Structure 1
Amino acid sequence: MKTNILLALTFLFSPFFPLDSREAKDGTEPLEKESPIITRTIDVTKTFREFPDLVGYWNTSVQKAPAPIVAQVAEKHLGKAKITRCWLNLDEMWDYRDREFEYDFKLGVDKYKEIGEKFRESWDWQVESPSTFYQYMDAFSGSSEEIMLTIRRYERDVLDGKLPISMEDWKMVFKKGLKHYKQKYPNIRYVEVGNEYAGKSFMDGTAEEYFTFYRLGSQAVAEINSELGLTGDDRILVGGPVVTGHILDKIDKFLGFYAQEPKSNRVLDFIAWHDYHKNIEASYDRQAELEGLLEKHGLPTDLPLFMTEHDPYHYSDDKPEYHFQNAAYLPKSLYFTSLKSPRVKIFPWVLFHNREIQTKFMWFSGPNEVDTRETEITTLPLGYSMQFLSMLKGREVEVNNIVDGKDMVLATVEKDRMVVEAINYAGERKVDLRLKNLFAAFPDKKGKQVQLKAYVIDNVNNNTLEKDAKGVSLQPLSVQEITLTDELALTYEGLEEKGMVLWELVY
């Protein structure tokens, strides 16, 4: 078994000198894209913002619906979600053959598999689940401040004309279903109309065809708001076009159609899209790009911006290294986007899915029975990586990082706590971080005992990909009681490529 010297703890009583003689004007050392050692000098008194909640936007899937306990596990280990994205498939809730609504339908029951005229969409890879829609929504509504509901299906059937479903029917089903669920789950705040309309396994439509349904869906939302007297933060917000691939071109077309609508018919409260498998430099500037498109079409440039699906790497195969690749690079994508495009909120894909086809994107794994217990749920590397990010709270400390660099170091301070995380994107390297001015940041803790915990995520530590490996909570590699000094070195020998190390000081 591989072993590492986790922590070399050094108390520095002599004046601290920069590690690099090419000292920058702000007193921090300049960075190279790749160096033999991951090193930073961190003045803990220099902070510049409240650290954003980068893990507060969750994605679910009903292709294999999660057990209700997953919502509780996620809340316990990541904190309550700001927004959770849930799904409503219209052809599960409403059957065109008897025109009856079943609001608490069992998820994933393929009642159309013998009907050749029915467009399949994603039915061929949807798994029947034990949970009902109410059980699914009860769980995630309870663990989230707000819900985003993605409403889809029947669009291609309407366009093909093979089934007795009209545009009016589609709007009626959309409206009646959403109105019912909004009354049952008042924290439904956002509605996406459709999902990746150009995809062959989704609507398989054109931009113009999609906009026809967006118009109907947005009209339905406006009518529900009026009929229920919803105002302010209670009002349902609607957005689109929920696209992937050639994102800016597709959003440009969508906004062009929208701008041509009579102003009395316009309802667009947010922009939504999906970014997969792109260099971070290609996606972290979305705010400026989308503001430019909105301005081009004479529309308000301050609309909320939601990247409602995202992973840095999107492979079809499933290999252990792909898990660690996304686990290491997703924090980088979330972090740099928060700096360059602070109004963009990212919903990484995905809390739970069908392990046979999408394990590499999942945060949690386990049975999806209604009565699944917490002890049966396993946190995967992405989930543990998100737990690391969730531990960063309070004021963010200034640390040099560059978007195309081969490592990233983050640090935050609170009244009685400090967290430092380092991620390695190159070959195995030593981590050598120097903290200074701890007494100025924590004056009442000078010379007192504090607890220092260290955690690692790599092929050896907190790796639940191994056969029979289980665990939902991060396991610390060391826990020490130390006397706080003004300057402190945190050192880790041999951090693997795509490995992560985190230190938590509790005062």
Structure 2
Amino acid sequence: MPKVIVNTAKFVRIWPRIEKYQNSTLRYSPPSDFPAFWEKVNARPKIMRCWVTLDEVWDYRTDEYFWNYQIGVNRYHDDPNHYEYDWGSTVPSQTRYKDYLTSHSRHSDEVMLNIRRYERETADGIVSLDKYEEVVENVIEYYKALCPNIRYIEVSNECEIRPFGGITIPQYYELYKRVYRAVRRLNKKHNYELPLMVGGTAMTGPMGHPHLWYKFLQLLAEDKDPDKMIDFYSAHDYNKDINRLSAFYKMHHEWIKELNLPDVPIFFDEYGTVGATGIWTDSLENAAGVLSGMILGSRLEGMYIFPWCTFHNPDLQMSYTQFLRLDDGSYAPTPNGNAITMLHMLEENELEMEGDHKNSVIAAGNGSRTTVLVTNPTDKPMAVDITLTELSQERVLVTEYLVDTSNNNRLTGPECSELRLTNRWNEKTGNNDKSINIRTVLDKYGFCLWIIEPHELSRP
């Protein structure tokens, strides 16, 4: 049971805005008005991870480029030489690629561009590595000119597993070298105001096969190019055990020290705690678990977690998508979306906490207003006991936002189109330490945000 004492007058650090690292998708691309909507609800992302699929922008058979391609249209149905990849779960979109990319770029500080596909064709010799390098350079150059805030280039995505190419780590590293060489030339050629950076591997679940992660690091260390580039490391995890994050963090730092590699940021740029499903109840479970994982990640210096995913196919990934598009063209949050909004609502300074919180509680304030977020990532009810001390007023207003199976959850409860308050009350603080106590029981996978503010300054 989280039993926590929060000192509302003692700041321990500026709270890192962990909700500002986000993912988009091309397999079920939203209309181009979605990024503006997301920014309106949750503020501007610091980094938005976007995609370019090389087999859509460039046809290896004709050497043609389709810079504004219709997203999700497979022109290789009858081509036995083209690998299937994840085309089977891709839904054709009415959105064209430039609208997708520029809309996300306009509503984000910076863009990470993941470059994927043709991994298998290069491994099989159908597309030469020299041609791959040429195409990658052309693609990056074109879209960087279109969206100057593209900063991070991520090489491929989960290509160690069959749906994304099923290539070996040595084969991957050949692609990685070709991309960093292309990026290096572009930076020199254009002297960008915001230079391009490169990283990888975007491997899924490195704690499940750590030997593959070590092999990548080993190849990087053995690379004799004096100007090789590694500006960030990237990996994914979809697992209930959030402690895998800290285990990976420790393992990775031991290995980069052993191999004398740079200690640059780690982007856990896909994260979830359930599988990819269309099961409606999985959204709440994932949201509660991801909140706990992100709280843990906030304490691992140099690690940034990107939850999967702002918008995705509810038939296949209801467990992850933050928003749904309704019949009238508007958007409504799932529990995953409401979890991100709660993180956005936290105040700017993390507060001192004492007690047993186990990555389930975060408290933040600004001197007069206090916010407390608690998540229950377990499949059993969880008692919560929060004492807030050193409040600056004699009477405070407490506003509650609860998400569980019945509240703020249009998938299993009453329909809702936004995060709504579920309770509000005012109370007198204690005479000695100006404290109040909040006690409740969160249902399984429930999570709750409380806002505590001066009663006289509160809106009715």
Fold in common (TM above 0.5): yes
Deviations 1:267-317 (A, max 9, x none): 1111111122151222224333222211221222x211111111122x254
How many Å apart are 1:87 and its aligned residue?
0.5
1:108-136 deviation digits (Å, cap 9, x = unpaired): 01111121221111111111001011111
Q: CA deviation at 1:487?
A: 2.9
Residue 317 to residue 86, structure 1, CA distance change in 2 (3 Å) = closer
Partner of 1:387: 341
After TM superposition, give the deviation of residue 450 of structure 1 in Å. 5.2
- Tell me which of 167, 182, 202 is aligned to 1:220: 182
Change (3 A) 1:258 1:290: same
Work out whether residues 432 and 489 of structure 1, in 8 Å CA contact, stay in contact via their aligned partners in 2. Answer: no
Q: Does 1:358 align with 2:321?
A: no
Could you tell me how far apart the structure 2 residues matched to 1:288 and 1:179 are? Answer: 36
Counterparts of 1:144 and 1:384, CA distance in 2: 20
Residue identity matched to 1:330:
V
The CA distance in 1 between the partners of 2:18 and 2:79, in whole Å, is: 44
Are the counterparts in 1 of residues 84 and 163 from structure 2 also a CA contact under 8 Å?
A: yes
CA-atom RMSD in angstroms: 2.2
Alpha-carbon contact 2:406-2:413 (below 8 Å) kept: no
Render the CA deviation track for 1:180-217: whole Å, top value 9, x for unaligned. Answer: 11111011000111111211111210111111111111
Shift in Å, 1:333: 0.7
Letter of the aligned partner of 1:205 in structure 2? I
Question: Which secondary structure does the structure 1 equivalent of 2:110 belong to?
Answer: strand
* 1:111 alignment partner AA: R
Uncovered stretches (5+) of structure 2, i.e. residues with no partner: 455-460
- Read off the aligned partner of 1:306 and give its amino acid letter: F
Change (3 A) 1:245 1:285: closer
1:123 & 1:288 partners in 2: Cα distance?
A: 36
Q: State the partner residue of 2:434.
A: 487
Does 1:466 find its partner at 2:412? yes
Greater Cα radius of gyration, structure 1 or 2? 1
The structure 2 residue matched to 1:329, chosen from 286, 289, 302, is 289
Instruction: Note the 1:103-122 alignment, pairs <5 A.
Output: 103-122=67-86
Contact 2:351/2:365 (8 A) holds in 1 = yes
Matches within 5 A, 1:390-401: 390-400=344-354
For residues 92-111 of structure 1, the aligned pairs below 5 Å read: 92-111=56-75
Rounded Cα–Cα distance in structure 2 between residues aligned with 1:228 and 1:95? 26
Task: Give the equivalent residue in structure 1 for 2:271.
Answer: 310
- Equivalence for 2:232: 270
SS of the aligned residue for 1:201 comes to helix
Corresponding letter in the other structure for 2:371: V
Quote how far apart the aligned CAs of 1:175 are.
Answer: 0.5
Q: Number of paired residues?
A: 449
**Which of these residues, 205, 216, 231, is aligned with residue 245 of structure 1?**
205
1:97-496 matched pairs, under 5 angstroms = 97-161=61-125, 163=126, 165-230=127-192, 234-247=194-207, 248-300=210-262, 302-313=263-274, 315-339=275-299, 341-366=300-325, 373=329, 376-400=330-354, 405=358, 408-424=360-376, 425=378, 427-439=380-392, 446-447=393-394, 451-466=397-412, 469-471=415-417, 473-480=418-425, 487-496=434-443
> Structure 2-normalised TM-score?
0.91
Structure 1 residues 134 and 304: alpha-carbon distance in aligned structure 2, compared to 1, 3 A threshold: same
Query: CA separation in 2, counterparts of 1:137 and 1:246?
Result: 29
- The equivalent residue for 2:458 is none
Alignment identity in percent?
A: 28
Residue number in structure 2 paired with 1:19:
none
TM-score (norm 1): 0.83
The amino acid across from 1:131 in the alignment is T
1:208–1:187 Cα change, 3 Å: same
Deviation at 1:249, TM superposition (A): 2.0
CA distance in 2, matches of 1:50, 1:436: 19
Mapped partners of 1:82, 1:354: distance in 2: 24
Please state how far the C-alpha of 1:66 moved relative to its aligned partner. Answer: 1.7
Q: Is the 8 A contact 2:382 2:441 kept in 1?
A: yes
Of stretches 483-492 and 112-121 in structure 1, the one that deviates more from structure 2 is 483-492
CA contact (8 A) 1:430 1:491 kept: no
User: How many angstroms apart in 2 are the aligned matches of 1:191 and 1:351?
Assistant: 20
Q: 1:55 to 1:230 in 2, by over 3 A?
A: same
The whole-number CA distance in structure 2 between the counterparts of 1:174 and 1:278 is 36
Given that 1:277 and 1:311 are in contact with CA atoms closer than 8 Å, whether structure 2 keeps it comes out as yes
Cα-to-partner distance string for 1:16-62 (whole Å, 9 max, x where unaligned):
xxxxxxxxxxxxxxxxxx4xxx5333221233111111111001111
Q: Aligned partners of 1:295 and 1:480: how far apart in 2?
A: 53
For structure 1, which runs of at least 5 residues remain unmatched after alignment? 1-33, 440-445
2 CA distance for matches of 1:120 and 1:137? 24
Alignment pair present for 1:49 and 2:13: yes
Judge which range, 207-216 or 259-268, deviates more: 259-268
Letter in 1 for 2:363: A
2:64 is aligned with what amino acid?
E
